[in-house]
Structure 1
Amino acid sequence: MADAAYGLWPLVVLNTALFVVFAASFFHPRSRRDWRAMGTYTAFLVALFTEMYGAPLTVYLLGSWLGSRFPLLRDTHAGGHLWNDLIGWTGDPHLSPFHLASYLAIGGGFWLISAAWKVLHEAAQHDRLATTGPYAQVRHPQYDGFILIMIGFLLQWPTIPTLIMFPILVFVYARLARSEEREVADRYRDQWEPYAARTPAFWPRWHRGTPPTGQRQGSARMDEHRLPGA
């Protein structure tokens, strides 16, 4: 190793646990489906932090092939910020445009998960659909939050395993979302159909003129719209 940036397995465990607990405190998983969503997110973090502090597999694999073209592609901690090589960034990698953008994406993801949870919690207390906040724009803002967090990590530390995992995890979240929607549609059919027709699942449709709050019908997990203990 060129420096002592790798082989730090306690940091792998610590950082993985930190971000998992942090996400769980925003997401509040309860159902089996919730834990599957958390499990896929956790697998992504394990792969990420293993290469960030444990063994830089991606740097090793690409270094022998592209090392002469990209001199920063070496087995140092700075060498793991691969996007910086594409723009010739030679300064502090933590201040690069990609890294700064990653802070916004990760912070925005956690904010979105938290904002959606508040709406869901209030709706659950009244046993009704969520109708305000992020659910007025998309049907699955909490999954959007997880995806945004993963995009943020990919911006600051891309690896071959996480780049492969990312589209798979997006597919998994899409399947979980469809499963949730079938359950919610069965329970709130009259309200769900017009809501789903005008509200996109993941990508917000920015348009002029927003329907009055009372006309919006949001949804997510069916069990989150029940009174606690119901």
Structure 2
Amino acid sequence: MVEQSPTYGLWGLAIINSAVFILFAFSFFKPRTGREWRSFGAFSAFLVALFAEMYGFPLTIYLLSGWLQSRYPGIDWFSHDAGHLSEMMFGWRLNPHFGPFHVLSFFLIGGGFMLISTAWPVLYEAQRHNRLATSGPYASIRHPQYVGFVLVMAGFLVQWPTLLTLAMFPILVGMYVRLSFIEEREARKEFGDAYDRYAARVPAYFPHLARLFGSGGERRAP
């Protein structure tokens, strides 16, 4: 008789994955003020809630099990693969790790962390020399780090949606938008017209795609 590995209850994996992603994000975000720590703490809570359901206890599957079993019969909803709700509900019956939603999630998560990691050294150098960060990702959007965090969370939601993380997502997005407004007010006080000219040229969150792909060099604030 072959013993099957447990599907859930893998709390060690939940802790390890949470710690790895939180420490990786911390290495770039480096919160300093109280509001930055609160926003980073909320992001960390999002990751803990995600991995707790992914490896520990499938709360969302448990709460929706009656509706899922009646709407989608023939699926073992308490198998680990069924936690990929998007693939299951849209009829992807093969290995969900190769499903379209899972592949999309890799691009979102990888792109988000790449954006965070490339933005941090630019911001660090700008702060060290007391000037605006206008090169690298900051040449296309004014808040690449916050956009990066939103992309990471969106990627995890696409890959493994849960009721708790779905509820947390808009709250976290609102926190990052509010934090970006506060930082812009502070930047205007410090840099004055230079920041106004930069903000008039570079969008806050969504890059001008034509300019992004058609530009051959960096844009710098005067």
TM over 0.5: yes
Q: Shift of the alpha carbon at 1:126?
A: 1.8
Q: Distance in 1 between matches of 2:13 and 2:167?
A: 23
The CA deviation string for residues 189-212 of structure 1, in whole angstroms up to 9 with x for no partner, is 111112212222111122346597
Report % sequence identity.
54
Please report the RMSD computed on the Cα atoms of aligned residues, expressed in angstroms.
Answer: 2.0
Report what 2:166 is aligned to. 163
SS in 2 for 1:204: coil
Q: Shift of the alpha carbon at 1:182?
A: 0.9
> Are the equivalent residues in 2 in contact too, given 1:73–1:82 (CA < 8 A)?
no
The CA deviation string for residues 94-132 of structure 1, in whole angstroms up to 9 with x for no partner, is 111111111111111111001101111221232211121
Calculate the TM-score normalised by the size of structure 2. 0.90
2:193 is the alignment partner of 1:216? no
> Are the equivalent residues in 2 in contact too, given 1:3–1:76 (CA < 8 A)?
no
Q: Distance in 1 between matches of 2:217 and 2:198?
A: 13
Q: Relative to structure 1, is the Cα distance of residues 61 and 198 closer, same or farther in structure 2, using a 3 angstrom cutoff?
A: same
2:184 is the alignment partner of 1:177? no
> Are the equivalent residues in 2 in contact too, given 1:66–1:73 (CA < 8 A)?
no
Which letter maps to 1:21? L
Extract unaligned runs of 5+ from structure 2. none
Work out which of the residue numbers 94, 102, 105 in structure 1 matches 2:105. Answer: 102
Report what 2:70 is aligned to. 68
> Are the equivalent residues in 2 in contact too, given 1:47–1:162 (CA < 8 A)?
yes
The CA deviation string for residues 10-32 of structure 1, in whole angstroms up to 9 with x for no partner, is 22211111110111123233333
Q: Distance in 2 between matches of 1:50 and 1:214?
A: 43
Work out which of the residue numbers 130, 149, 154 in structure 2 matches 1:151. Answer: 154
Q: Shift of the alpha carbon at 1:76?
A: 1.4
Report what 2:51 is aligned to. 49
Q: Shift of the alpha carbon at 1:5?
A: 1.5
Report what 1:201 is aligned to. 204
Calculate the TM-score normalised by the size of structure 1. 0.87
Q: Relative to structure 1, is the Cα distance of residues 195 and 211 closer, same or farther in structure 2, using a 3 angstrom cutoff?
A: farther
Indicate the larger mover: 124-133 or 25-34.
25-34
Q: Shift of the alpha carbon at 1:87?
A: 2.3
Q: Distance in 2 between matches of 1:153 and 1:35?
A: 22
> Are the equivalent residues in 2 in contact too, given 1:9–1:54 (CA < 8 A)?
yes
